[in-house]
Amino acid sequence: MGNRTALYQSHVDAGAKIVDFGGWDMPINYGSQIEEHHTVRQNAGMFDVSHMTVVDVTGPDARAYLRTLLANDIAKLDDFIGKALYSGMLNEAGGVIDDLIVYHLDGWYRVVVNCATRDKDLAWMTRQSEGFAVTLQERADFAMIAVQGPKALAQAKQALPEQNDLIDGLKVFHGATAGDWFIARTGYTGEDGLEIMLPEADAPALWQTLIDNAVAPCGLGARDTLRLEAGMNLYGHEMDETVSPWQANMGWTIDLKDAERDFIGRAPLEAQQAEGVPAKLVGLVLRERGVLRAEQTIIVDGVEATGVITSGSFSPTLGFSIALARVPAEAEGEAVVEVRNKRLPVTIVKPNFVRHGQSLV
């Protein structure tokens, strides 16, 4: 038996198929992953993401600490209470320990990291806090529900009439506290929506209220195909401690503007940039029959095994297979992927396929 969220019994009662996910017993689907995927693209669905790790960073050195810890610069948030920032947390070699979101709140910061990397993330964050006047508090008392889709905000407002003003006032990639709750306009699907952090005891009632207001429960299977269509990275696939952000389509998260800011991993990243990054993360489109999967090899310009798929699946929205893949920096145009001893033609595209329900390829 793995760890269980406060919503575990709600999933079981709804007939969810439960699987192990990073040591947690989580719903993979409630009957049809495809239907759940379409629900989020066309209407409103919700996910239990309580397995994510929330860490509050407080103290007089919180800002200085995070400016050292993260490749992106939280100084960008100084004038914006509630604004969020996406960043990599890197090791000394410039590899990605984890990717995360940090929110700037009133005098402190809230960081959300991945569940599968919880232990090493917390150990690393604690180790790097030495010498800084900061306190790190894991909020294990929180549950988190993500409500996503074109109708997500409207349906959430019906379920939470007392929070209508807060929800109406939220800009994209911003969050705000509401008593013991925290509501952010963020997500992992390529659709608009909310991520609601709340005390575990409140989670089952909110889950049921959302169901009563036409928000469909969805499992982690649909969440994965949705994030893939949106070109969003998954830790352990598109990046890990051996992969530079330059090679994971995360170059836009590396802030080198302030020459005085010596964040962890900066020197190796600058050296890689000067030398020329040898590989990049791209999208692949396969319009023939077949399904692209992680670890399939890619042939570029007739050279065997010059690239590899990091994530791949059939795209329910597009009706054909798509993938994220790491290929040589100069690769473009057409390539070939080995699928079950067959060589199938693919097109190299920008690493995003669908946003807000619309095809980008």
Condensed to tens digits (0 to 9), the pLDDT of residues 128-158 reads 999 999 999 999 999 999 999 999 999 999 9
Average pLDDT, the chain: 96
Q: How confident is the model at residue 305 (pLDDT cuts 50, 70, 90)?
A: confident
Q: What is the mean pLDDT of residues 12-25?
A: 92
CB 310 within 8 A of CB 326: yes
pLDDT at 272: 96
Q: Measuring CA to CA, how many Å separate 258 from each of 71, 76, 264?
A: 11, 11, 14
Each residue's pLDDT tens digit, 313-338 = 999 999 999 999 999 999 999 999 98
Q: Which residues contact 38 (CB under 8 A, 6 or more apart)?
A: 316, 317
Helices 152-159, 203-212: crossing angle, 10 deg rounding: 120
Q: Where residue 116 falls among pLDDT bands split at 50, 70, 90? A: confident
184-209 average pLDDT score: 97
Which residues in 173-301 belong to E strands, given as ranges?
A: 175-178, 181-184, 193-199, 216-217, 279-286, 297-300
Structure tokens at 73: 């610069």
pLDDT band, very low/low/confident/very high, at 306 (cuts 50, 70, 90): confident
Report which of 352, 337, 351 is spatially closest to residue 304, judged by C-alpha positions.
337
Task: Please report the DSSP string for 83-125 in residue order.
Answer: BEEEEEEE-TTS-EEEEEEEEE-SSSEEEEE-STTHHHHHHHH
pTM confidence score: 0.94
The pLDDT of 75-82, averaged and rounded, is 96
Query: What are the structural domains, with CATH classification, of the chain?
Result: 1-275 (3.30.1360.120), 278-352 (2.40.30.110)
- pLDDT tens sequence across 37-68: 999 999 999 999 999 999 999 999 999 999 99
Contacts of 96 (CB under 8 A, 6+ apart): 88, 89, 90, 235, 239, 240, 241, 243, 244, 245, 248, 250
Q: For residue 301, what pLDDT is reported? A: 84
